[in-house]
Each structure stands twice: as C-alpha cells, then as structure tokens.
C-alpha cells in the first residue's frame, strides 16, 4: 500500500487505532485496554492485524497518540521506538493546536478532550458542544475562535450499567438497546428506560443549559461521538450530528500539520 500515517487513541476501556493514506481512512480497529500486556504482546496483536489489512510498517510516515492512560502512553512510545521506528507525537493540552484555555496551566485537561475540540473546530468551523460517550460521558464547549470553555464529566453509560448489572444477578442478561416505552412494565424495559432514555434526557438538559448560558456565542452545533453515541442519541432532541470518527480524524489532521 501507499505511505500512511498511524493514529492511536488510548482510552481507559479501549484502544482505537487507525491508518490514513492521503487523508483517507484505510482501516481501523479497536482493542481492549489491558495494562498487564507488554509492548511485545501489543506489537504481536497489532502486527497480526496490520498484516490482515496489508499495512506495511516501513511505509508509516508518522504516528500520533492521544492517551488518558500514562502507563500505556509510555508503552506505546517504546513499542514505536522498538518496532515501527517512525516519528511519533504525543498530544496533550500543551500541543500547539490553536486552542485557548481559560486557565494558567491546562495540563490537567485530557488529551481526548483536546483532540475532540480541535477536530470539531477543523471539521465544522463553528461553536461546538461535543458529547463523547466513552468510559465516562464528557460534554465540552469550544467556541469558533478556539476557546476551550470547559467540560462536564459524568459516569459512562456502559460503565454505570455494568456496575448495576454486577450488583444485581437478575439483571445480568439484559442487552442495551433502545427502550420501547418510557415507563417499563417489567424489569428489562424499566431498566432500559432508566439507562438509555435517562442518559439522553441528561444530555439534552446539559446541552440546553449550555446553550442558554453561552447564548452570546450565537449558533452552537452539538456533536456526539463514541461507540454508544447512536443508541443514546436516538432519544435526544439536541444532537445535530453523530460523528464516530471525530477523534481519529482529529489525530489524522494533527499528523498532517
């Protein structure tokens, strides 16, 4: 295949990798985050997937990592140095992306939030509320001039559901899906309404409150991303677009800078 760039988004639950050639996604895959794996074990997995997708590590021009797991940031940096040997950039709030922060030291801001804010501005070129459904649910506001106003963090949908399922044996076999009713007449429907509809209502409430508080900004586009975004946003009235590639596309654009 042609030369490509490699992007890696390391989260607490999953690691998502993507390969872009000429600005177009060639392939991507999702791995479970496992801090017990060594760099050699991760490389074996990645190499196998690369071979399946005809990715030649010798033709990777650059790699960019976004990570909220410091141990794995170091591990993947070593993995790249040992096996892939391409230029590597690790993104954080100090990376020059044209964003402005209302705090003296933005170092506490997660790189996933930074990348999503940058990506939303580049892709949509307007004020954006970004809702990311991951291990935690995050809702952030970034203005068209690149000001990062801040973030709301709440327990993630799947994280919360798993904790509930683990605590109640009778709930363990329920699969997350769109609820059929608002008021359930059995445990399954009642639970789905609470988890799925409840999170959609929470999301809409926060978005409405943010739009009211920051109405001086003018029009604000609301973007949802993350693996479970579609399931939650079917019940939302405030989401304008679902963009599952927001983070990887942001990393790709950082690669191209």
> Mean per-residue pLDDT for 197-216?
95
Predicted local confidence at residue 31, as pLDDT: 93
DSSP 104-170: S-GGGS-HHHHHHHHHHHHHH-SEEEEEEESSEEEEEEE-TT-BEEEEEEEE-HHHHHHHHHHH-GG
pLDDT in tens, 57-80: 899 999 999 999 999 999 999 999
Predicted local confidence at residue 173, as pLDDT: 63
DSSP 180-217: S-SS-SSHHHHHHIIIIIHHHHHHHHHHHHHHHHTGGG
Structure tokens at 144: 């068209």
* CB-count burial class (<10 Å; 0-12, 13-18, 19+) for 27: middle
Percent of the chain with pLDDT over 90: 68
Is the pLDDT confidence value at 83 over 80?
A: yes
Pairing of strands 14-21, 4-10: antiparallel
Is the pLDDT confidence value at 171 over 60?
A: no
Closest CA to 240 of 249, 251, 248, 229: 229
Task: Kindly name the residue from 40, 56, 112, 189 that is annotated as catalytic.
Answer: 112
Where does the pLDDT of residue 172 fall: very low under 50, low under 70, confident under 90, or very high at 90 and above? low
Give, as one character, the DSSP assignment of residue 95.
S
Q: Which residue has the higher pLDDT, 239 or 181?
A: 239
> Mean per-residue pLDDT for 135-140?
93
Mean pLDDT of the chain: 91
The whole-model pTM stands at 0.91
User: Radius of gyration (Cα) for the chain, nearest Å?
Assistant: 19
- The percent helix, strand, coil of the chain (3-state, each to 5) is 40, 25, 30
Residue 92 annotated in active site = no
Spell out the domains of the chain, with CATH numbers in brackets.
Answer: 4-90 (3.30.420.40), 106-250 (3.30.420.40)
Is the pLDDT confidence value at 4 over 60?
A: yes
Predicted local confidence at residue 2, as pLDDT: 76
Strand order in the sheet with 136-142: 148-155, 136-142, 127-133, 220-225, 241-242
> Mean per-residue pLDDT for 24-53?
92
């Amino acid at each position: 295949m042609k030369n490509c760039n490699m992007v890696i988004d390391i989260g607490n639950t999953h690691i998502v990798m993507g390969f872009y050639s000429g600005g177009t996604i060639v392939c991507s895959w999702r791995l479970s985050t496992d801090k017990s794996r060594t760099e050699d074990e991760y490389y074996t997995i990645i190499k196998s997937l690369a071979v399946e997708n005809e990715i030649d590590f010798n033709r990777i021009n650059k790699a960019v990592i976004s990570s909220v797991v410091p141990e794995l940031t170091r591990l993947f940096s070593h993995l790249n140095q040992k096996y892939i040997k391409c230029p590597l950039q690790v993104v954080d709030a100090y990376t020059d992306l044209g964003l402005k922060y209302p705090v003296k030291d933005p170092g506490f801001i997660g790189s996933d939030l930074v990348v999503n804010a940058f990506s939303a501005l580049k892709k949509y070129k307007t004020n954006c509320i970004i809702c990311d459904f991951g291990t935690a649910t995050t809702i952030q506001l970034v203005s068209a001039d690149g000001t990062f106003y801040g973030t709301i963090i709440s327990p993630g949908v799947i994280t919360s559901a798993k904790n509930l399922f683990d605590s109640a044996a009778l709930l363990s076999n329920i699969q997350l899906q769109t609820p059929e009713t608002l008021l359930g007449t059995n445990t399954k429907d009642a639970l789905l309404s609470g988890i799925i509809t409840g999170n959609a209502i929470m999301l809409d409430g926060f978005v409405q409150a943010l739009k009211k508080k920051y109405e001086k900004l003018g029009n604000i586009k609301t973007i949802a991303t993350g693996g479970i975004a579609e399931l939650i946003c079917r019940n939302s009235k405030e989401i304008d677009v679902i963009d599952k590639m927001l983070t990887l596309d942001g990393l790709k654009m950082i690669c191209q800078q």
